[in-house]
Structure 1
Amino acid sequence: MSTSFSTPPSVAAQIARLPELPMAEIRALWQKLVGGETPTHNRQFLERRIAYRLQEAEFRKVDANLLDRNQRRIESLVETGKVKKRDRDYRPAAGTVLVREYKGVEYRVIATADGHYDFHGRMFPSLSMIAREITGMRWSGPLFFGLRPPTNAKAKPSTKKRGAR
């Protein structure tokens, strides 16, 4: 006799299902995730807050320090009135899918919980190694995948015409 184990739907699947649920289930989810009665009958409001709570619960499991780091940044903003520059840590949260089109081909990379990246079923320790695999050249992985803006190291060309008086 074989036993079938089913895994719970992913957070993304749970969120995608919210608009299809009857209002009674939305209220039950609210009570389970937030507690108490729903503060409004506005379904869109409730779905958004439920989606946030589902993600919050899931990502706290994946990276317990994520919300704590964000809370410290918020407290620093309130205290100083300034947003501190982000650390040079461009690692996306586990489960993030990075998509990059290069020479007409779309490439997908998935960030894993252990800080590595899954590219075509192979694990890589850095995005730069994947960018090199794709292009054949050395690239900054965070730059290649759009996690970091390009630096303006090169001066912009002058708009003045030379030789004109």
Structure 2
Amino acid sequence: MMEGLRETLASLTAMDIEGLRAVWRERLGEPPPVRSTDILRRSLAEALQIEAGGQSVALDKRLSRAASQHRTGKKPRLRTSTFQPGSTLIREWQGVRHEVEVRPDGYVWQGQKHASLSKVARLITGVRWNGPRFFGL
């Protein structure tokens, strides 16, 4: 059954809008809800996968909770840093141990003060990083 589904999903990429509409009507028994070829292709692929494997009730509940957090009138909660001035952040990068001291006015790495943790992560790695993510916060 999964092999047949894989083949069907692969065949959707080559279909034009009329072919997609025909598959939608045949498999789902109703007219397609959208006119966009790309959106119809994605919606059809999702519908066929749900048809084959069922829908996850737990996932639906998690998605509903997440969506309710972003409805009009509700402000999203921002995560705040869990480290305080005086803390030392430690990260090993390419075999080198890096220590960053957290201060009220910034971060100190290798004796130099920096305004952001992302700047320190960029200096360590040579590429843009989200500082808290780089240090595992």
What TM-score range do you get, normalising by the shorter chain? 0.3 to 0.5
Structure with the higher fraction of residues in helix conformation: 2
User: Which structure would you say has the larger Rg?
Assistant: 2
Higher relative contact order (CA 8 A, sep 6+): 2
Q: TM-score, normalised by structure 1?
A: 0.37
